[in-house]
Structure 1
Amino acid sequence: MSKILSRRTVLRGLGATVALPFLEAMQPRAARAAAAVKAPTRMGFLFMPNGVREDRWTPEGLGTDFKLSPILSPLEAHRKDITVLTGLGNRASLAGDGHYAKTANWLTGTPIAKTTGKDLHCGISVDQVLAKEKGYLTRFPSLELGTEPIMSGVDRNVNYTMLYGSHIAWRTPTSPIPAEINPRFVFDRLFREDAAQRQASAEENKSVLDLVLADAKSLRAKVGKEDQQRLDEYLESLRHIERRIDADIARVASGENLDPAAKEATARLDKRIAEAMTANPKDAGSRLRLDHTEHCRLMLDLMALSFQTDSTRTSTFMFGWAVSGKNFSFLPGVEGGHHQLSHHEGKADKLDAYEKINRWHIEQYSYLIDKLKSIKEGEGNLLDNSLILFGSSIRDGNKHDPRNLPLVLAGHGGGVKGGQHVVAAKDTPLCNLYTGMLNRAGVETPSFGDSSGILEV
């Protein structure tokens, strides 16, 4: 091969841009002959609302000699890639009642201002510290994802604006970043040109991959066999996700795979979407109701793709907002909404259902880990170069306690060993973990939030 490709090489077509994964052709010849260029460390944060059934969460044993708990058992195949963390707390949220004062600052480690809507104030979240330091290297400084719309208004039970419960990413102490909940919009944001170009393009409704096909063929002819195979696998992965998104939109319209209540709601929604598209087409897609498991997995796939293509190096994902009432009756043995069941009052039937919901969330986390491990990068895989934190901002939904939070860290980014259960001293600040993660991601900092040191994992 006569030419070295720039790391920022993309595939282009009319109205579309597709970033590329790491290819050997992007490495200097000397580096190719010696050792692979070191991949960047990505950070992802997965937020689960409403806490956990605490007596079924904590593993038995310490260090590398531990047994996963019933809720964490879906991670058994990944035990060498995870670090279960016990003993960390967010003391900055102790003073606030309910969920809101504990959700907004989950990634900031700072107190929030009690307000019913005006004068929002929290802190800068850890993902945005990385975005500020490394975001200029990628197309997007960060990516915020979710499944439920932003909640506004005031919760009069605790006198907090519900906006606090809908955001975990904060660009500044007064600027929360909303999560995108529509997978089509996220896909287009990552792989299409800006809206003005898309509207001007006669090819707007064509597949993104079809739009860049000519450029892909041209690039393929310039790279070696291993890069050709990697490029083919990557483009096929994109095609698979694009087809799934289109299929889900079709399923919403037909009511397929939805329970009777959801079918009725979808019929109403279908009419509202048709009306909304006429009145305001830009907002119509945000009202799509997808199967919750597939919705989450599409978002997690998009997170993985954004890391794979180096479109961003940090992303957050909210399974639900702070007091999510998502109905989990689609799980065997569960009847009712998430928030309702988290207030279990010690009742056996509610505790069992609560545990099943917790376990479902861990299964989605395991799905993302599987995905990242399946993507080759350098001498290893994408998970080797990532740090993906899963957790909740309270310990138990019945107590609203922000101490000894349920947390699991997956990946080996920055040299994290994995395969251990780390038990920190009681009330160790959660921000000690964040400080360590930032340093491992290449952001040298002695402290973050209310940290008292650096937690080494």
Structure 2
Amino acid sequence: MANLLFRRDPMSRRSVLRGMGATIALPFLNAMAPTARAAQSQAQAFPVRMGVVFMPNGVHPQRWTPEGAGHDFKLSPILQPLEKHRGDINVLTNLGHHNCREGDGHYAKTANWLTGTPIAKTTGKDLRCGVSMDQFFAREMGHHTRFPSLEMGTEPVMTGVDFNVNYTMLYGSHISWRTPTTPLPPEINPRFVFDRLFRENADQRKASAMENKSVLDLVLSDAKSLRGRVGQEDQQRLDEYLESIRSVEQRIEADIARVAKGDNLDPLAQEELARLDKRIAAAMKDKSDPGGRLRLDHTEHSRLMLDLMTLAFWSDSTRVSSFMFGWAVSSKSFTFLPGVNHSHHENSHHENHADKLEQYQKICTWHVEQFSYLMDRMKSIKEGEGTLLDNTMLLFGSSMRDGNAHDPRNLPLVLAGGGNAGVKTGQHLVAEKDTPMCNLFLSMLQGAGMNVKEFGDSAGVLKGLTA
């Protein structure tokens, strides 16, 4: 602990707890301030983060847009789960991607959702899209953290060709692009993400020592030493942070155990239980996904990933992260929702049939509920006089207005948080028709402190978003 504690000099912002192959970054503590009597604004002491949450297959278009504009608006049926957060959100209307209008199906709208650029039509070779907004941020700011960015999802990367539209399915599995030809695949296993954030390289530890020990147990001695040498407020903040890590870790282990037992699984999956159990064990040991879908409860799977995004930001392990609820043509079953008896993709192609539209609305509302959960988590974490959400610009939405029409105009979008980045919240922001979504990206990048004048096909910042 000698490297962590100083009598006069501040503790490094990147200080960590270590023990037997585990590494846990620390949240911001008062002991990290330049001096005990520093007059520096607390808002300036915390970094700005950027999170992106992607929902596939569009939304029920008549049940998305709020009534009214500005601060005087009424949330739509799908957005009702955000009512308690209305003061922390911007519902954005009339933003879209002109360069995404060409090309059939979902692929030409999903891969470029964060780039605003056209994609090269290909069945596998010569992938080309653009640098995504999150990776543009990571390229400039990623050196401040252990990981430049963190990409997560719930469904594996799809390969092969969709011959209905003659696009490689790789385009539908990625929203983050490090270069125009280098997509970053999302990690779908919460255990792998957790280990990446809080455990060192498997080759540098003894597997037997790690098998049955919590990561917190491994750093316990270091944590106790630190706790005894910081103030009471820092002690409370540290306790809350470590308890959040413990909670996520326990939920991951419980979900793995549930999968092994076969609770609540589709009957067709029962025969695969033994094989699935072996695959999970192999994945834990070899740190590689065997290629099958994880048989996890979709709500808990999604929330684990959103909790991991929260922990990654809180620990300053990264300052930018993306999460995909599903790939572009996700056929994820939502029969766990009352009244839903079709997959997500099938319901999105509703052809204006009332029964499918009703199911489609329920699926869209479920996604908004999970986003509301993420806001709950970030708002529960105090940072100075504000919260983690105040220091995070959190974008949620889909790459199409309506899954039935595949239209990239007037996209369904919500931007939450970001108050300490200059974002004005609590409004339904109605832009001019066909305003480039890249105007939003430019505003977010500038709010995060980047000296950038344009992004994609931006025509300036998004009017009315920032102070």
TM-score of the two chains, using structure 2 as the length reference = 0.94
Gaps of 5+ in 2: 1-5
Contact 1:16 1:192 (8 Å CA) reproduced? yes
Alignment identity in percent? 70
Give the alignment partner of residue 23 of structure 2, picking from 17, 24, 37. Answer: 17
1:404 to 392, 410, 415: 410
- After superposition, residues 36-75 of structure 1 pair within 5 angstroms as 36=42, 37-75=44-82
> Aligned equivalents of 1:105 and 1:227: distance in 2?
42
Give distance in 2, aligned partners of 1:116 and 1:242: 40
2, 13, 35: which one aligns with 2:7? 2
Gap change, CA 1:76 and 1:248, over 3 Å in 2 = same
2:377 alignment partner AA: K
> Could you tell me how far apart the structure 2 residues matched to 1:254 and 1:6 are?
44
| Pair 272,414 (structure 1): closer, same or farther in 2 beyond 3 Å | closer
In 2: Cα distance, 1:116 partner to 1:408 partner: 33
Question: Contact conserved, 1:15 with 1:204, CA < 8 A, in 2?
Answer: no
Q: Give the direction of change, closer, same or farther, for the CA distance of 1:33–1:225 in structure 2 (3 Å limit).
A: farther
Aligned counterpart, 2:368: 362
Partner of 1:283, secondary structure, is coil
Q: Secondary structure at the match of 2:13?
A: coil
- Within 2, Cα distance between the matches of 1:243 and 1:174? 38
- In structure 1, the partner of 2:124 is 117
Contact 1:154 1:160 in 2 (8 A): yes
Pairs aligned (count)? 456
SS at match of 1:151: coil
Q: CA deviation at 1:91?
A: 1.0
Distance verdict in 2 for CA 1:279–1:10, change over 3 Å: closer
CA distance in structure 1 between the aligned counterparts of 2:266 and 2:396, rounded to whole angstroms: 29
The aligned counterpart of 1:282 is 288
Do the aligned partners of 1:182 and 1:286 also contact (CA within 8 Å) in 2?
no
Evaluate the alpha carbon distance shift between residue 166 and residue 348 of structure 1 in structure 2; reply closer, same or farther with a 3 A threshold. same
RMSD: 1.9
TM-superposed deviation, 1:269: 3.0
For 1:2, give the aligned amino acid.
R
Q: Establish whether residue 194 from structure 1 lines up as the match of residue 204 from structure 2.
A: no
Task: Out of 278-287 and 402-411, give the one that drifted further.
Answer: 278-287
Matched residue, 2:111: 104
Q: Mind listing any 5+ residue stretches in structure 1 that lack a counterpart?
A: none
Change in CA separation of 1:152 and 1:201 when aligned onto 2, cut-off 3 Å: same
Q: 2:289 is paired with a residue of what secondary structure?
A: helix
* CA distance 1:50–1:31, change in 2 (3 Å): farther
1:97 touches 1:158 (CA, 8 Å); kept in 2?
yes
Give, in whole Å, the separation in 2 of the partners of 1:185 and 1:261.
27
1:422 maps to amino acid: L
Question: How far did residue 289 of structure 1 move?
Answer: 1.2
User: Hey, what does 1:337 align to over in structure 2?
Assistant: 343
Counterpart residue number, 1:79: 86
Structure-1 separation of matches of 2:382 and 2:209: 36
Q: Is the 8 A contact 1:383 1:413 kept in 2?
A: no
After TM superposition, give the deviation of residue 255 of structure 1 in Å.
1.2
Contact 1:198/1:204, CA 8 A, preserved across alignment: no
Aligned equivalent of 1:451, options 434, 454, 458: 458
Give the conservation status (yes or no) of the 8 Å contact 2:192–2:287: no
The aligned residue for residue 3 of structure 2 is none
| Bigger mean CA offset, 286-295 vs 208-217 | 286-295
Contact 2:155 2:293 in 1 (8 A): no
Alignment pair present for 1:185 and 2:192? yes
Cα separation, 2, equivalents of 1:45 and 1:278: 27
Higher mean C-alpha displacement, 366-375 vs 410-419:
410-419
CA distance in 1, matches of 2:76, 2:426: 14
1:71–1:359: 8 Å Cα contact kept in structure 2? yes
Give distance in 2, aligned partners of 1:349 and 1:413.
Answer: 43
Task: Check if 1:389 corresponds to 2:395.
Answer: yes
Match of 2:217 among 191, 210, 222: 210
Give, in whole Å, the separation in 2 of the partners of 1:38 and 1:255: 47
Distance 1:350 1:238, change over 3 A: same
Residue identity in the other structure for 1:331: L
Give the Cα separation in 2 of the matches to 1:272 and 1:33.
Answer: 54
Q: Distance in 1 between matches of 2:318 and 2:142?
A: 7
* Aligned match for 2:427, one of 400, 404, 420: 420
The residue type paired with residue 344 of structure 1 is H
| 1:315 paired to 2:321 | yes
d(CA) in 2 for partners of 1:58, 1:277: 42
